Amino acid sequence: MNDDSSLAASDDAPLAQPSRATRLLAVGVLVVVALAGVIGGIALDRTVLRQHQWEGRLARGTERRAGPRRPSAMLGADLKLTEAQAVRIDTLIELQMRGFRDIRQSTQPAIDSLMAQTRRSMDSILTPAQRTMLDSARARREAEFKKRFPNGGAPRGGPGNWGRGAPVRP
């Protein structure tokens, strides 16, 4: 019984406060994990998810029509917008999209640099034969993209172009 009472007493003892270095390390690890998740999600979206999304649309026959569409037209007829409302909504959304483009333009070099660094690191892990296989898979994916979108599509040259030119091999 004496052992049980000493265990209970030790549970009530206050824990020592973590040091500042430990807290900073924990915050740093959380930031790195969050950034890795965001970058991994972007890469997954660009390489896998968007491809399946387009395949599904094309299979259903609902591919995009050529030419610009008014943003207000996407809201549906249920809202019964007046022409004045539609114009104001179109203007608002165009301003928002311009802001998104400005943000993307300012952050894209950093994203491209990080993706290129990741690619170089990945290449350093792979054997020469594996790198060749990966390059072939990327080339096939880019050829499929160009076949689906002969006039281009992605402003940076298509999927899998992680902000770099042709791969440089040792």
In a domain, 45, yes or no: yes
User: Residue 63 pLDDT more than 60?
Assistant: no
Q: Are 112 and 163 in contact (CB under 8 A)?
A: yes
Q: How many C-beta atoms lie closer than 10 Å to residue 72's C-beta? A: 19
Q: Kindly report the three-state secondary structure assignment for every residue of the chain.
A: CHHHHHHHHHHHCCCCCCCHHHHHHHHHHHHHHHHHHHHHHHHHHHHHHHHHHHHHHHHHCCCCCCCCCCHHHHHCHHHCCCHHHHHHHHHHHHHHHHHHHHHHHHHHHHHHHHHHHHHHHHHHHCCHHHHHHHHHHHHHHHHHHHHHCCCCCCCCCCCCCCCCCCCCCC
In a domain, 41, yes or no: yes
In a domain, 52, yes or no: yes
The pLDDT value recorded for residue 14 is 67
**pTM for the whole structure:** 0.37
In a domain, 162, yes or no: no
User: Residue 166 pLDDT more than 80?
Assistant: no
In a domain, 44, yes or no: yes
Q: Are 163 and 156 in contact (CB under 8 A)?
A: yes
In a domain, 28, yes or no: yes
In a domain, 40, yes or no: yes
Residues 94-129 have pLDDT tens digits of 899 899 999 989 999 999 999 899 989 988 999 999
Number of domains in the chain: 1
Residue range of the domain that includes 33:
21-62
In a domain, 7, yes or no: no
Closest CA to 44 of 166, 163, 165, 160: 160
